[in-house]
Amino acid sequence: MRTWLFAGVSLLVATGAHAQEDRPAVPVSEDQASVDAEATQVGELVVTGSRAIRNGAQAPTPVTVVAADQLQQAQPGLIGEALNTLPAFRGSSRPTTGGTSALAQNTGSFLNLRNLGAQRTLVLVDGRRAAPSARDGSVDINALPSQLVKRVDVVTGGASAAYGSDAVAGVVNFVLDTRFTGLKAEIQGGVSSENDAESIKFSLTGGQSFADGRGRFVASGQFYESEGVPSLTQRDWGRAFYGSLSNPAVPGQLIFRPNVRSATTTPGGLIISGPLAFQQFLPDGTLAPFDRGSVRSGLIQVGGDGSQLSSNVSADVRTRSLFGHVDYELTPELRVFARVSYADTDNRYNQVQAFNVGGFNGFTIFSGNAFLHPTVQDRLTATNTPAFGMGRINFDFGDPAKAVTRNRLVDTTVGFEWQGPAGWTVNGYYEHGDNRSDTRTENNVILERLFAAADAVRDSSDRIVCRVTLTNPGLYPGCTPINLFGSGAVGRVDRLSAHGSSAFRTVIKQDVAALTARGDLFSTWAGPISAAFGAEYRREEIKQTTDAIGPSINDATGIRGFPAPYQNQPGGWLLTNVFPVAGAYDLWEVFGEVAVPLARDVAWAKSLDFNGAVRYTNYSTSGGVTTWKAGLVYEPIEGLRLRATQSRDIRAPNVPELFAGITQNTGSVIENGATVGIIAATSGNAQLKPEEADTFTAGIVLQPSAVPGLTASIDYYSIDISGVISSLTPQVTRDQCAAGATQLCANITRNTDGVITRIVSPTLNLNRLKTSGVDIEVGYRLPVEVFGGQVNLRGVASYLGEMTTEVFGGAKIDRAGEVGVTANPEWSVTASAEWTRGPFSLFVQQRYISEGTYDVTRVEPTTIEDNSVERVFYADLTASYAFNERMRATVTVNNLFDREPPLAPNGTLAIFTPTNPQLYDQIGRYFTFRLNVRY
């Protein structure tokens, strides 16, 4: 990777050196400013939460606009990472939040406004709905042509009436510079201070007009690769192995401790039942006492000899993208365009080492097993012990399971713009998106084969064979007996007979046809009344195919000791059991919007404007629904604007939520103060109805003439969603059942001892989700120079006042301020300052996440020892120098002071992440060097 980087830098330096012979030197920032000004002059669509209003300053809905160069200064890697530094985005999926699931492409960059879910954030490209990249309809931002992104408009309020379904949390619109002329190239490399997580990025963009300026063509290509960080043990704070467990000294109290380990497994095998209980197998197959540590609770202990498992920090990510746009003026009034976007992304990350946890899915070893050491067999015989349970983390099975996803997206759009009479404009387009995602889990374990191989006996010829080959010949062909006694006892051939790669393919298709007309209806004494009318048709289709083992039923015929949680249940793999999905829905909708000036330059108002919209949508699955919006902007005096909006917004269930079969993985719940391993399953529900949200925003915008260059806004928001489409977590299902929600108890399976083994969580219209808070934004361009340079200041803050969920009439839970088990900090702030003097600029950004509560449902000291999570500050620094108008070099240091993430352990089955990766930086200090050339 470094060789490629140095070669690319040499090429760009040579290109830039040659370029300076052709033009006088001016700072790149000035040149870029002229490009932005040109783009503004051609009147590109600006998303304001309205199709009738083009000036965001006059829109009643709050809008945050971020220029692409500022995003690169803040976070020069992936554009999704940069956007997630804005306080409005919380809980987004990113390469550092892949976790241990391979049920989707969950290491892409999926934006999540206000932590309401990526599926409730509508992503647009130039005002048009982007093609989905994931099963839930969300868009992987990594697939967008980032070098052509000129700016990003974030509408932080409901906009379903203006833009359609899914805009419950808001809209994120990526504005592309399709009028770029010339050629520009970028090369970038990065590495952490721990000398890992290396990344590299190349991009090349060119644009040219033709046919005497009537036509224009733009093309862009990009390659990005990051090697990721495969293990928490590559960080000091990760090597401490902090985790959570129930305190045996105080029943029901959750505690955090370092050196957390499994209490029922070792790398060589731990006996957990019978007269030999808590003896562990040494590498030579003999037994030795097992150190049970200082604190024990269910499956977890502190210290001792138990196994330790490490999760990944960040995924390996590789993206390749191509984009082309061409438009042509057929007549002075009619312009047509076509664009195609191709993206190929690969995500890889470690899941978990193959595990057989005693008390959950451990082995049952029968007396007479052919691999038992004679001394162990003698003790079983002497004590008349027919079998014993054994837990084992199978490090000698080879590398951990690895989730690998390749995602290929082709998105094609054709359209037109017609300038009609009286200033009316008619736009239309047709878009087809085709996304193919192939996901597999390598080094996975086939359950029936593993447990068949574990029951090893000797045949009549004294050969060691799988017992089932004698009792049920031909039923499990190729079964190879496996020696599980002692670390390293498993041979490569032995483990291969029980290993494979689970796989599934998801094909997502989207077709959209839309027609919109905009213009002025007529004028009143206060000004022209603007309107927009339109219609849209959309079809969403998903087809998911899987391997044969995932959906199969584990009947385990002839296999002794097959674990009860798997017996006669679907899911033949240890990890990633996915069922086929096939389904589609379509919809048609019509909408209208008006912007009405009510007053201009009167005694009581500088201006007063009304904006209203209504949309009717008819779904093939759930029928018709109406959304609407009404807003006012009041300017009593120049420089002071008051704005407010009330809207009804919707999100219809997507195809997997409607039609998905069972999808399952391993997990755990806490019951009676102990951690219990379970099978966690989810399924679709064809009876789902659309979510409905009532959204209210109100705010003040200040642009005082007495302080030129200052803009400030403060906005209150409230989003109240009913009929929330979601699945309960296994823990919530268990807790609500215990609290009296008897309808949920039917989703819980227990063994003959009453221990939970399986929880199914179907997708449901849950009762309610409500959030409210305040957004603050301040921008100030200092009127005087500082140290001979111009200074720009900007601050964006978000206060979360409420994040309430209510399920099945149970108690309301307000998770505002919870930063441990969810990502809902009370305060999030991003502040930046940029100093520019000639060709040099310095950009400093400070990010702040307030202290918070680990779990709002717990109370100190009764149910948790310490329920607090520390606040954190992150500083980012970027220095940039323009050698001439064509070449600029930039160095960025993210997390300048190498702040470690606060302690907030999350995990299951003794596999913990010591912090909350949805909120906190796990990589540490990171250096990036970038070189841009343009001519």
Alpha-carbon distance of 398 to 913, in angstroms, equals: 22
Neighbours of 236 (CB within 10 A): 10
Q: What is the DSSP string of 621-676?
A: TTEEEEEEEEEEEEEEETTEEEEEEEEEEEE---HHHHH---EEEEEEEEETTEEE
Q: Degrees (nearest 5) of the Cα angle 492, 497, 499?
A: 85
Q: Examine the pLDDT at 25 and tell me if it is beyond 80.
A: no
Average pLDDT in the 344-371 region?
A: 91
Tens digits of per-residue pLDDT, 885-908? 999 999 999 999 999 999 999 877
786: DSSP letter: B
Average pLDDT in the 482-506 region?
A: 88
Counting residues of the chain whose pLDDT is more than 70, the rounded percentage is: 92
Spatial contact of 821 and 908, defined as CB atoms under 8 Å apart: no
212, part of any domain: no
Beta strand 182-192 pairing with 581-602: unpaired
**Cβ neighbours for 754, distance < 8 A, ≥ 6 positions apart:** none
**Residue 491 sits in which domain range?**
232-310+355-393+447-497
Spatial contact of 567 and 554, defined as CB atoms under 8 Å apart: yes
Band (pLDDT 50/70/90 cuts) for residue 93 is confident
Strands of 300-302's sheet in order across: 260-262, 300-302, 295-297
67, part of any domain: no
Residue 463, classed as helix, strand or coil, is coil
Check residue 27 and give its pLDDT: 27
Cα of 229 vs its chain's centroid, Å: 17
Check residue 810 and give its pLDDT: 66
Spatial contact of 552 and 573, defined as CB atoms under 8 Å apart: no
679, part of any domain: no
Spatial contact of 544 and 580, defined as CB atoms under 8 Å apart: yes
45, part of any domain: no
Place of tokens 């088990």: 821
Tens digits of per-residue pLDDT, 471-482? 999 999 999 999
Tens digits of per-residue pLDDT, 761-813? 888 887 789 999 999 999 999 998 999 999 999 999 999 999 998 876 567 89
Check residue 576 and give its pLDDT: 85
Nearest to 61 by CA among 506, 608, 717, 685: 717
Greatest mean pLDDT range, 70-84, 161-175, 445-459, 715-729: 445-459
Check residue 125 and give its pLDDT: 93
Neighbours of 43 (CB within 10 A): 9
Q: Decide: residue 693, CB within 10 A, 0-12 exposed, 13-18 middle, 19+ buried.
A: buried
Q: Which residues share a beta bridge with 735?
A: none
Band (pLDDT 50/70/90 cuts) for residue 35 is very low
Band (pLDDT 50/70/90 cuts) for residue 99 is low
Q: Examine the pLDDT at 469 and tell me if it is beyond 90.
A: yes
Structure tokens at 907: 């995990």
Alpha-carbon distance of 388 to 365, in angstroms, equals: 5
Tell me the average pLDDT of the chain: 88
Alpha-carbon distance of 479 to 499, in angstroms, equals: 11
pTM: 0.88
573, part of any domain: no
Check residue 103 and give its pLDDT: 57
Alpha-carbon distance of 882 to 841, in angstroms, equals: 9
183, part of any domain: no
Q: Examine the pLDDT at 63 and tell me if it is beyond 90.
A: no
Lowest mean pLDDT among 187-196, 242-251, 452-461, 668-677: 668-677
First and final C-alpha spacing in the chain: 27
H runs (alpha helix) in 441-486: 447-454, 468-471
Q: Which is higher by pLDDT, 849 or 146?
A: 849
Beta strand 764-781 pairing with 790-806: antiparallel
- How many domains does the structure of the chain reveal? 1
Tens digits of per-residue pLDDT, 680-716? 888 888 888 899 999 999 999 999 989 999 999 999 9
